[in-house]
Structure 1
């Protein structure tokens, strides 16, 4: 019998190491299990990420590993990946049952696992592996010791079980060797997409509330990567921002961000929105007047 945690580490396709410079680049996975799922929620879901970009989705309803829209052909063997995720689902949900038993509670509970690694200039530079139960940190892996570190009293049971099965060295090897090798292989296909610089398109909207206050909102759309700087000025003086926000990653792999300022409704400005992003040779300025 293959120990439970070691089964999570099985890699069904060979990783081919290639020269990968710069970065950092990361490969990570998010697993979520629910003991009593609702009708529109799968009991198990898995998502794989390269940097901030999802590239793989699997759930217990479809039982099929599927690519995200940007996926490059040939990067993943989807038949093998489906078999791997099916096996991981069984192990993960069995672990959830064990943890519920440690708490002596058979109600509705959620178990999440996240693990992954990072490389920079082709060299391993970090990794993590941790679990949470009902939103609270439960147990994590320390690669330096190495050992599983319980974060709740009940997690001692999990630590003993996994370490008795001999998972410590296998977990360390996976995080420090197998995971980086897999990431290098994926980067052969995905680097052009990850390294791209998509400039923002910037627009301004104006809205008057109760005839007294005007809200000017500057919106930056469809940019990548995520870091961006936005601010308002009037006559070359920075104006205090009323609100700022950013949207989640869109389906096309880009971001949205906005910054708003409130002014008297009769104020005609001019006001300028300034946007700085790595894709721009110089800051972009859009003026409302």
Structure 2
């Protein structure tokens, strides 16, 4: 996935827990086209997201839009045959654009990737944001500015694409109307079936562990897992002092609709001072503080050594 579009998707997910159950909510589509697909990777695929949750997928092999996760059990949310036809039409346009870019750069050799992401957001039941942008081989290519309105070329080859997409004024107005009217309307309709799932709050499970490599410092790790929504804050503390973490802080999907995150800090191997992991999440009435007990761990290590003898 191109970094520029992956970053946007993660930002959309991170925004979810910042408000109450009035939102924000987002609907976004991520498209990926490959000039030389390999086994197991279709030449074109599209995934739609409600907030940070994938809710349907389409690709050039199956050529069917199919609901994912809990949405596969929902009746009447979408006409999936009609959605499949729409995605087929978008696939054709998308792959023609990829070929046009490759022709411009004479990039027939090698493997190339074209990606697009577009969508909208509702905050307190009002449209508050929309975006539509593309990337070629991981670099910004073209984006739609609905205020002008116009396509803005971010790459030399995108000037050709801009000219093609603006050949008729109606195409520009249709893009603007999609972002400002059609997309928010779809999102409102989807929320009738999805609000309970998107608004759920699942508290994190937290574990604190340590490891000492020979001749090195002690590594303390705090792992939070199985939580939803995505936003979480973790840090290590000593009394009255927030410790500088060495790694971690990323939030990753578990594969079951929940998330995990961790932070790691290094301390001297002989350090017996109190250290605690501080956890903040929207599902918690108050932050969690999970202590690392050096003395208890030392006793456990001693018991293991005695048993080994």
TM range (shorter): 0.7 to 0.9
Higher helix share: 2
Secondary structure of the residue aligned to 2:166 is helix
Aligned mate of 2:129, from 120, 126, 146? 126
Secondary structure of the residue aligned to 2:70 is coil
The answer to whether structure 1 residue 234 and structure 2 residue 238 are counterparts is yes
Ranges in structure 2 where 5+ consecutive residues have no aligned partner? 1-20, 294-309
Contact 2:252 2:261 in 1 (8 A): no
Contact 2:230 2:251 in 1 (8 A): no
Secondary structure of the residue aligned to 1:153 is coil
Per the TM alignment, residue 142 of structure 1 is displaced from its structure 2 partner at its CA by: 0.9
The answer to whether structure 1 residue 196 and structure 2 residue 179 are counterparts is no
1:17 corresponds to:
none
TM-score normalised by the chain length of structure 2: 0.82
Contact 2:29 2:117 in 1 (8 A): yes
Matches of 2:278 and 2:157, distance apart in 1:
52
TM-score normalised by the chain length of structure 1: 0.87
Q: Which has the higher contact order (CA 8 A, sep 6+)?
A: 1
1:8 corresponds to:
none
Alignment of 1:77-116 (within 5 A): 77-107=79-109, 108-116=111-119
Contact 1:140 1:149 in 2 (8 A): yes
2:74 corresponds to:
73
Secondary structure of the residue aligned to 1:173 is helix
Matches of 1:185 and 1:280, distance apart in 2:
30
1:129-157 alpha-carbon deviations (Å, 9 max, x no partner): 11111112111111111111111222121
Alignment of 1:104-253 (within 5 A): 104-107=106-109, 108-165=111-168, 166-253=170-257
Matches of 2:219 and 2:240, distance apart in 1:
19
2:272 corresponds to:
268
RMSD (Å) for aligned C-alpha atoms: 1.7
